[in-house]
């Protein structure tokens, strides 16, 4: 068993370190799991694939889980995915039940995390086996569907689609690669740029810029107003936690974990949607939802089970189709590429050891997250006091390392980080959607290859509609997602009119 040789103390140590660092990042308001993965990415350059992935998955699980700490103690979600934890967590903390609220969230988190790991283990290989049969036409349509779904779930459909197409356009800058069957010519740039952009913008400096530097700039413009102890609640004293709080919560746990896993599979939807959806379903279906929003543990259970279930769900499309499920897995795709691994339908079959190690790492990360947070929650809660004037300069410093080392020392990648950091800030101001932009950027080059190869083979645009029943089914899904988005847009426009 080759796999056992990878289960070294280093492997477990890296998961533990990743989980702990992730929890710390998640616990600091404004810093997300994505940022944790982006900032710690350079550390994986020194490791092999298995150890690198162990660290990154620990960061991912820890980052999502840590978000509940400020949600309960400060009424500020540490990560967007813990938005609904504030609804009941903070009122509980105000009543002196802060530790009880946090431990309820921790237990729900491990349930959600393990549930989604099981779904990932059983479902991803099936999806990958199915996707192996796809031709270039179906592969192009899958990418089109992913971009449509992401854009349709944005607050503004038009801006969502524009952002996704802009991401695709940016990915096309550079050479039409001969390795991929292209003619080796450059495009979308002036001649003087060829020296720098012959291979286009590197993925990771772009991601690190948008998720690292942009966050710092957005906070800098506010003058770090959230960097205070206002509203902070102590964990000392109050009602103790007992597992009795989960009596009658099994349905809630399973439903919320299922919702989180499913939402995670949809590309780019994000943890906040999973949390809100699970919370609203619990409110609709529970026998007694009268206390929800006033400090009911069931609200924390639904929110935390769903957002941790997102982790395994988001890895399903990544590992079976090569399509990232959220912004954090978008960075993971970069980490895989760095190690010379192409994720997609062939990944699991060709890398069985790595596949099993990913599942093991995910399970261990959840167990360690539980152990670290459950027994050390009082110490972890102190993290929210670390001031941003100490943290943010260090984050920019680590962003530089990540960008510079990615191609073994190219200063242009560092400038790319700055360029896209500022671009991310501007995008935020003018209402561009970051997630479709990033997913478009990641999938753009593949979309081009599949599109052009399909037309070179068949010589007619109608092939995208008539190639196979799967192609037709994918068009139906694209039409449904667009119709759903238009319906949501119309409903959202009417609602303010009715309210006014």
Partner 1 sequence: MESQWLSLLDVSIDFDQSHLFFPRIVTWILVILLAVILLTRYRLLVPGLKHAGRVLAGREGEFDRKRFFGTLALTTVYFYMMGVLSDVFPNTGYSFLICSIVFVFSLSLLYVGQLSRRLVVIIVLNALIAPAIAWYVLAQLFRITLP
144/155 Cα distance (integer angstroms): 19
Kindly state the smallest distance separating residue 165's Cβ from partner 1, in Å. 5
Name, in order, each residue with C-beta under 8 angstroms of 450's C-beta and a sequence gap of 6 or more.
136, 137, 139, 140, 143
Nearer to partner 1, 349 or 393 (CB): 393
Q: Determine, following the binding rule CB under 8 A, whether residue 179 of this chain makes contact with partner 1.
A: no
Q: In the 8-state DSSP scheme, what is residue 213?
A: I
Nearer to partner 1, 218 or 254 (CB): 218
Residue whose token pair is 């809100």: 276
Name, in order, each residue with C-beta under 8 angstroms of 387's C-beta and a sequence gap of 6 or more.
227
Nearer to partner 1, 41 or 265 (CB): 41
| Contact pattern for partner 1 over residues 417 through 446, marking x by CB under 8 A | -x--xx------x--------------x--
- List the one residue from 132, 155, 187, 231 that touches partner 1 (CB under 8 A): 187
Q: Determine, following the binding rule CB under 8 A, whether residue 217 of this chain makes contact with partner 1.
A: yes
Site residues for partner 1, window 361-420 (CB under 8 A)? Answer: 387-390, 392-394, 396-398, 400-401, 404-405, 408-409, 411, 414-415, 418
- List the one residue from 5, 284, 460, 500 that touches partner 1 (CB under 8 A): 460
| Contact pattern for partner 1 over residues 330 through 369, marking x by CB under 8 A | ----------------------------------------
115/308 Cα distance (integer angstroms): 9
Kindly state the smallest distance separating residue 408's Cβ from partner 1, in Å. 5
Q: Determine, following the binding rule CB under 8 A, whether residue 479 of this chain makes contact with partner 1.
A: no
Length of the chain (residues)? 500
Tell me the DSSP string of 43-75: HHTTS-HHHHHHHHHHHHHHHHHHTHHHHHHTS
Nearer to partner 1, 43 or 106 (CB): 43
Q: Determine, following the binding rule CB under 8 A, whether residue 122 of this chain makes contact with partner 1.
A: no
| Contact pattern for partner 1 over residues 222 through 261, marking x by CB under 8 A | xxx-------------------------------------
Residue whose token pair is 């179906």: 138
Residues 395/194, Cβ–Cβ less than 8 Å: no
Kindly state the smallest distance separating residue 278's Cβ from partner 1, in Å. 33
| Cα dihedral sign, 421-427-433-438 | negative
Name, in order, each residue with C-beta under 8 angstroms of 316's C-beta and a sequence gap of 6 or more.
119, 120, 123, 124, 127, 264, 265, 325
Kindly state the smallest distance separating residue 144's Cβ from partner 1, in Å. 12
121/440 Cα distance (integer angstroms): 27
Q: Determine, following the binding rule CB under 8 A, whether residue 162 of this chain makes contact with partner 1.
A: yes
Q: Is residue 206 helix, strand or coil?
A: helix
Name, in order, each residue with C-beta under 8 angstroms of 191's C-beta and a sequence gap of 6 or more.
none
Nearer to partner 1, 145 or 310 (CB): 145
236/73 Cα distance (integer angstroms): 12
Residues 296/85, Cβ–Cβ less than 8 Å: no
- List the one residue from 3, 10, 159, 254 that touches partner 1 (CB under 8 A): 159
C-beta pairs of 285-293 under 8 Å, 24+ apart in sequence: 285/251, 285/255, 286/252, 292/87, 292/88, 293/87, 293/88, 293/91
- List the one residue from 15, 37, 161, 485 that touches partner 1 (CB under 8 A): 161
163/281 Cα distance (integer angstroms): 30
Kindly state the smallest distance separating residue 224's Cβ from partner 1, in Å. 6
Residues 26/32, Cβ–Cβ less than 8 Å: yes
- List the one residue from 9, 122, 185, 498 that touches partner 1 (CB under 8 A): 185
Give the binding-site size for partner 1 (rule: CB under 8 A): 64
Nearer to partner 1, 172 or 367 (CB): 172
Enter the tokens of residue 261: 């896993």
Kindly state the smallest distance separating residue 401's Cβ from partner 1, in Å. 6
**Quick one: which segment of 37-45, 129-137, 258-266, 300-308 binds partner 1 (CB under 8 A)?**
37-45
- List the one residue from 111, 201, 370, 451 that touches partner 1 (CB under 8 A): 451
φ, ψ for residue 433 (rounded to 5)?
-95, 120
Nearer to partner 1, 152 or 308 (CB): 152
Kindly state the smallest distance separating residue 397's Cβ from partner 1, in Å. 5
Q: In the 8-state DSSP scheme, what is residue 243?
A: G
Helix (H) or strand (E) holding 434: helix 434-458
* Separation in Å, CA 240 to CA 102, 104, 293, 406: 11, 11, 20, 48
Kindly state the smallest distance separating residue 52's Cβ from partner 1, in Å. 12
Tell me the DSSP string of 146-181: HHHHHHHTSSSHHHHHHHHHHHHHHHH-EE--GGGT
Task: Kindly list the residues in this chain that would bind partner 1 in the complex (CB under 8 A).
Answer: 42-43, 45-46, 158-159, 161-162, 165-166, 168-169, 172, 175-176, 182-188, 213, 216-217, 220-224, 387-390, 392-394, 396-398, 400-401, 404-405, 408-409, 411, 414-415, 418, 421-422, 429, 444, 447-448, 451-452, 455-456, 459-462
């Amino acid at each position: 068993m080759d796999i056992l040789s990878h289960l070294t103390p280093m492997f477990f140590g890296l998961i533990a370190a990743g989980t702990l660092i992730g929890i710390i990042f998640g616990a600091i308001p404004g810093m997300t799991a994505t940022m944790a993965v982006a900032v710690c990415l350079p550390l994986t350059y020194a490791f092999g694939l298995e150890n690198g992935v162990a660290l990154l998955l620990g960061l991912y699980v820890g980052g999502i889980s840590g978000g509940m700490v400020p949600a309960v103690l400060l009424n500020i979600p540490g990560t967007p995915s813990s938005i609904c934890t504030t609804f009941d967590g903070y009122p509980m903390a105000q009543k002196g039940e802060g530790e009880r609220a946090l431990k309820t969230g921790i237990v729900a988190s491990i349930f959600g995390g393990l549930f989604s790991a099981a779904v990932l283990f059983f479902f991803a290989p099936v999806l990958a086996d199915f996707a192996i049969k796809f031709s270039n036409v179906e592969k192009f349509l899958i990418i089109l569907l992913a971009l449509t779904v992401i854009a349709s779930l944005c607050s503004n459909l038009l801006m969502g689609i524009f952002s996704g197409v802009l991401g695709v356009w940016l990915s096309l800058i550079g050479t039409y690669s001969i390795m991929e069957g292209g003619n080796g010519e450059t495009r979308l740039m002036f001649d003087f740029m060829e020296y720098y952009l012959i291979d286009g913008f590197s993925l990771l400096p772009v991601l690190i810029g948008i998720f690292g530097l942009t966050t710092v700039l957005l906070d800098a413009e506010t003058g770090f107003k959230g960097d205070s102890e206002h509203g902070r609640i102590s964990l000392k004293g109050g009602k103790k936690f007992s597992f009795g709080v989960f009596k009658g919560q099994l349905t809630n746990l399973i439903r919320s974990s299922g919702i989180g896993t499913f939402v995670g599979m949809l590309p780019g939807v994000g943890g906040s949607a999973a949390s809100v959806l699970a919370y609203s379903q619990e409110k609709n279906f529970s026998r007694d939802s009268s206390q929800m929003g006033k400090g009911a543990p069931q609200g924390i259970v639904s929110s935390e089970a769903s957002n941790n279930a997102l982790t395994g769900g988001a890895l399903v499309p990544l590992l079976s189709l090569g399509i990232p499920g959220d912004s954090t897995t978008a960075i993971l795709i970069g980490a895989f590429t760095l190690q010379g691994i192409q994720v997609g339908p062939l990944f699991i079959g060709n890398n069985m050891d790595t596949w099993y190690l990913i599942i093991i790492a995910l399970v261990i990360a959840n167990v360690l997250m539980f152990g670290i947070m459950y027994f050390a929650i009082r110490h972890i809660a102190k993290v929210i006091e670390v001031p941003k004037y100490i943290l943010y300069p260090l984050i920019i410093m680590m962003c530089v390392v990540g960008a510079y080392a990615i191609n073994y020392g190219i200063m242009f990648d560092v400038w790319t980080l700055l360029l896209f950091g500022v671009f991310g800030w501007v995008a935020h101001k003018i209402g561009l959607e970051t997630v479709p932009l990033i997913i478009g950027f990641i999938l753009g080059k593949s979309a081009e290859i599949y599109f052009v190869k399909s037309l070179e083979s068949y010589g007619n645009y109608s092939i995208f509609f008539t190639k196979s029943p799967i192609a037709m089914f994918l068009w139906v899904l694209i039409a449904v997602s667009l119709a759903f988005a238009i319906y949501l847009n119309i409903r959202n426009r009417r609602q303010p009119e009715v309210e006014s």
